[in-house]
Structure 1
């Protein structure tokens, strides 16, 4: 945060927004597992984020946000189903073998 403006002079919502933006977005271990699995598939098949976006019917910016640690969009079950179909996998292949604790 800018040290020139005392926090007490900021509207509360703005202070909260700045705080949230400065924090790393936390996601669950299972969500991170799915994201990592898709990144590995993308790299293994020499695909770009644009390619993944086309497969799941979104824009590249969505995939960029999924892979970013600052703005964590998440793949949903429909995305996983489309990716599984494209790569000839089962949707369960995207999930870890056992339940995981949250990050």
Structure 2
């Protein structure tokens, strides 16, 4: 049984999505840039899935999106 994502995990997923869209990258292109399967990002952004990012993923995504990993986190604790 899949575990439910926490509020902070959902926030980070939403921020990655927002920045990805702002940079004009599709889910597939970002997945491939990470050397992952084409559905890697889509699995994380799908509300019905419980896939989440790890720290290494976020660091690599930040490099590709030309931002800081801190950009994915809220200003205050959730």
The answer to whether the Cα contact below 8 Å between 2:20 and 2:65 also exists between their aligned partners in 1 is no
Aligned pairs (5 A) from 1:1-103:
26-100=4-78
- Report the RMSD for the aligned CA atoms in angstroms: 1.8
Q: Structure 2 stretches of 5 or more lacking a match?
A: none
2:33 & 2:11 partners in 1: Cα distance?
19
TM-score in terms of structure 1 length: 0.65
Whole-angstrom distance in 1 between the partners of 2:7 and 2:35: 25
* Runs of 4+ with >6 A deviation: none
Can you list the C-alpha shifts for 1:4-41, whole angstroms capped at 9, x where unaligned? xxxxxxxxxxxxxxxx58xxx62111111111111111
Match of 2:40, SS?
helix
2:77 partner SS: coil
How many residue pairs were aligned?
78
Instruction: List gaps (5 residues or longer) in structure 1.
Output: 1-19
Contact kept in structure 1, 2:34 and 2:60, CA below 8 Å: yes
